[in-house]
Amino acid sequence: MIIKTQKPIATSEITDSLVFKRRRQIIKSLLAITGAGVAPAWASETKPLWDNLTQGDFSAHDLTPTPLELIKNYTNYYEFAFNKEDSTDLAQHLAIDPWSVEISGEVEKPVRLHLEDIVRQQTLEERIYRFRCVEGWSMVVPWVGFSLASLLKSVKPLSTARFVKFTTVHQPTVMPNQRNNAMLTWPYTEALRIDEAMHPLTILAVGMYGDVLSKQNGAPLRLVVPWKYGFKSIKAIVKIELLKTPPLTTWNQATPHDYGFYANVNPHVPHPRWSQNSERQLGSHFFTPRRQTELFNGYGEQVASLYRDMDLRHFF
């Protein structure tokens, strides 16, 4: 993982709408004020039990960001379409202002917060992460976001909180597949174990490539969990619930044999219909060999301890 103080690339992926301009301003000024993570937010905190994990100087490799041009029309957003190009176009209709997020369940202080207030209260950092889709392609993305743990701690999780569930917005008027109830159960939901959610690598992103998130990439707020397959990184989040028991999640519910709850990147556990041994890097030359997929997407040093008691040959 790389945490940078400077924003690298200006994006052209911004609409003219006022809300994007306002959020862009807030994000840019916060990045400037905070020094964008010179000292990671978690570094100085007293750690609760669930944070008893490896932290520190992570040196992941080949972290040259994938050109934005390649990413912006290559998105999975099934509420809009089952192909990548159409979902990018259709996602532009999503209404993202105003946007609020409910945080509830096993917490002392349930709240509903405007996104702007969340962003102001959090320390924005740039995180350059590898991203591996279960379909067998990968990219490197400079996200702008904040620690999920920091947000969760602000509502004081109860000791009964064992899982964290995330829900995408329900906007059937603009999301055609929600209207038709096509293929999946809507709204899209995902979940993590509480220790996964509290891990320092887990972030909520509000931007990428130094600017606000584009709508097709999950604006205005999405999850990013870099050691898991991309479908865990749920977009357009409106609700975060802390729960006692594991919730059903969209893909796991639809096809449990194909898409497990954990979905940790693992080259040794194939998808029922294809190998997960290697990946095509977006932007790589046609003749470039596929990249060897790494266990936990290369973040094993940081996260393997979370799964100490699990037989990884069986968990997907």
Does residue 57 sit in helix, strand or coil?
Answer: coil
CB 8 within 8 Å of CB 41: no
Pinpoint the alpha helices (H) of the chain: 18-34, 68-71, 84-91, 115-121, 148-154, 176-179, 194-197, 250-254, 300-303
β-pair type (189-193, 163-168): antiparallel
- The answer to whether residue 279 forms part of the interface with ligand MTE (CB under 6 A) is no
Considering only residues 154 through 193, tell me which ones interact with ligand MTE, judged by CB under 6 A.
168, 188
- The answer to whether residue 297 forms part of the interface with ligand MTE (CB under 6 A) is no
- Return the range that interacts with ligand MTE (CB under 6 A); candidates 24-32, 69-77, 264-272, 279-287: 69-77
- The answer to whether residue 249 forms part of the interface with ligand MTE (CB under 6 A) is no
Residue among 7, 37, 41, 79 that touches ligand MTE (CB under 6 A): 79
The three-point CA angle 217-223-227 to 5° equals: 105
Q: Residue 129 or residue 188: which is nearer to ligand MTE going by CB?
A: 188
- The answer to whether residue 239 forms part of the interface with ligand MTE (CB under 6 A) is no
The CB-nearest residue to ligand MTE is 230
Name the nearest CA neighbour of 74 among 139, 120, 124, 123. 139
CB of 273 to ligand MTE, least distance (A): 15
CA distances from residue 7 to 31, 133, 207, 208 in whole angstroms, order as listed: 8, 25, 11, 10
Cα separation, 251 vs 314, whole angstroms = 18
Considering only residues 120 through 139, tell me which ones interact with ligand MTE, judged by CB under 6 A.
133
CB of 241 to ligand MTE, least distance (A): 16
Eight-class DSSP state of 64:
P
CB of 20 to ligand MTE, least distance (A): 17
- The answer to whether residue 298 forms part of the interface with ligand MTE (CB under 6 A) is no
Q: Which residues bind ligand MTE (CB under 6 A)?
A: 75-79, 133, 168, 188, 217-218, 230-231, 233-236
